[in-house]
Each structure stands twice: as structure tokens, then as C-alpha cells.
Amino acid sequence: MKYQAIIDEIHAEVQYLFGRGNVADYIPALAGVDARKLGIAVHTLDGECVEAGDSRERFSIQSISKVFNLALAMRIVGDEVFGRVGVEPSGNPFNSLVQLEQEKGIPRNPFINAGALVIADILLDHLDRPNEEMLAFVGKLRCDDVRYDESVVESEKACGFVNKALGNFMKAHGNITHDVEAVLDAYYHQCAIEMSCVGLATSFLFLANGGVVPGTGMRVLTASQAKRVNAIMLTCGFYDEAGSFAYHVGLPGKSGVGGGIVAVIPGLLAIAVWSPELNRYGNSVLGIKVLELFTTRTGKSVF
């Protein structure tokens, strides 16, 4: 299939959507990002990589990092993870306290903020240098353009009052075992990972390949675990817009308020899109449209 022609056509077609969303200015370090950016990268399991627009410019991946967070925890402790966090869609904003209170400190899934904090807490049980080891893990996924943006880390810490409340609430219920500030530091560093669309698409190929990194043969997850991560991405990867994304796009994926989205077609490819303008749910306006058009034009989805 001629993916290059398809993404070039889509890149040109969605330009009219600029101005219909807003950059995530509630994180001061992200407020100054150029809103008129659009990058697309597709990487197939057979080694083809095609790209369009700002595909090699690094950006803050934010909540996309929650997939790396979960994968590393499952790699270490397996299904024990799900004794402390669920796998159901929340139907609420990513930083909601309401549901957490009703469910006594057990987050609905690993991709809302509370769930990611619990996963970070689990990792602190096993990692001596969690921030360095997370970057090393992502690097093993064949991504060599990954790093932290320390200005984003500091910005998140300065305005992370709700995340601190989530951590303290779960600490009160015994679902956070480490010092809350240590958990938040690991979480903020994960969110502040900078990658390009090319790097993201490449790093997610293991989820399109049954848990194995193509090219190196490194097994990150079992085939069953990779299937489960994909399932959680499909049902929970887009906050309270997950159902709409599944309906319009039909792929497992994960978004971040930095404007990135990455999705996979198991057995075939990974695709990453970056455009910083967000809709009211915190998902990229242009990114969602790009992926909808991509699955429509290629006829490829999980359905």
C-alpha cells in the first residue's frame, strides 16, 4: 500500500482544522508551543517508514508515556498490576477525583492520572533509578531520540495540585506505598519525555508485533500481555472521548495533552501524529481527524 501518498494527501486535507482547538496552556511550559504544527509518521513491521510535516520535531508526549509506564510494570510484575488498578473506561476527565473517592482509592484504569500514579508507585518498588531506567527502557524500543524536558518537569510540579491530591487520597487508602512526592517526581518525568512522531511510531511497534521489538527480537511483553495493553488503549486511551475515538478511528491508541497521538494496527504498523491544538477532552483536533482519514483511506482498522 502507498502509505506515503496517503499521508501526504491527508496532511494537506486537514489544514482547515487549525484554529479549532487550544494548546494545553494550563501547563505553562506547553503554553508557548507553536499551535500550527502537524507531523505524521507511519512505521510498518516490514521496515517501511514514511512521514509528513513536522514528523521529526520533538514534543512533550505527556500521557502517551502511560503506555510505557504500564508496559514496564507488566514486564516486571505481570498481572499483579491489576490488583491495584482496574481496566475499565472511566467516562470522566483524566484528573477526576470524584470516581476515585467513590471507589476507595482504586483507579479505573492505568491511563487516567490516578492509575498512572499507582503504576509509578509499583515501579518504585523495583527500580533504583526510576527516571534513568524509564528512558533506558524506551530506548530499547528502538527509539534513539528520547529525552526529558526538565522545564516541563518543573512546570508540572509547579501546577500539579490535583495530581498531588490524587496521590495523597490514594495514600490514605493504602494504594500508594511510597512518598507521594517521589511518586509524583517519577510521574512528571515520564510525562515530560520528548519524542518525535518518528520515534513514537517506532517505539510502539512492539505492540503491533505481539510484544516483540521488530529488528532486535527483544520480547517486551508476552503476546497475551501485548493484547491486553492494546485492549486498554482501545477502551481507555482517550480519556472520556475513548468511545468516540473507537467509533471514528477503530484503533488501539493513546493521546497526550502535548498534542500527540500514537496508534497501532496489530500485525501491520504503528502511526503517530502530533498537532498541539486540543479539543475539550484534551485530545488533538487534527490528530484525531488524521487517524480517522487514515483508517478510512487504507481500509485498515481492528474492526
Residues 6 or more apart in contact with residue 268 via CB below 8 angstroms: 44, 45, 208, 300
In this predicted structure, what is the pLDDT of residue 211?
98
Task: Specify the pLDDT at position 240.
Answer: 87
**What confidence score (pLDDT) does residue 145 get?**
72
Question: What residue ranges define each of the domains in the chain, with the CATH number in brackets?
Answer: 3-298 (3.40.710.10)
Dist. CA 173–CA 100, nearest whole Å:
10
Cα–Cα distance between 107 and 253 in angstroms, integer? 20
Note the pLDDT of residue 43. 98
What pLDDT, on a 0 to 100 scale, did the predictor assign at position 1? 85
- pLDDT confidence of residue 107: 96
Length of the chain: 303
Residues with Cβ within 8 Å of 102's Cβ and at least 6 positions away in sequence, in order, are: none
The H-assigned helical ranges of the chain are 3-13, 65-77, 98-102, 113-124, 130-139, 150-159, 161-172, 180-191, 197-203, 205-208, 223-236, 242-248, 285-298
Radius of gyration for the alpha carbons in the chain, expressed in angstroms and rounded? 18
Q: pLDDT-based confidence at 230, cuts 50/70/90?
A: very high
Residues whose CB is less than 8 angstroms from the CB of residue 267 and which lie 6 or more positions away in sequence, other chains included: 45, 208, 209
267 exposure class (CB count in 10 Å sphere: 0-12, 13-18, 19+): exposed
Q: Are 209 and 220 in contact (CB under 8 A)?
A: no
174 phi and psi angles, rounded to 5 deg: 80, 10
Q: Are 191 and 205 in contact (CB under 8 A)?
A: no
Q: Cell numbers at residue 39, please? A: 507531523
Instruction: Output the pLDDT for position 90.
Output: 86
| C-alpha cell at position 228 | 491486553
Q: Among all residues, which ones are annotated catalytic? A: 63, 66, 187, 239, 257
Report pTM.
Answer: 0.96
In this structure, what DSSP letter does residue 219 have?
Answer: B
Query: pLDDT tens digit string along 116-147?
Result: 999 999 999 999 999 999 999 999 998 777 89
In percent, how much of the chain has pLDDT > 90?
Answer: 90
Query: Residue 148 corresponds to which cell in the numbers above?
Result: 526529558
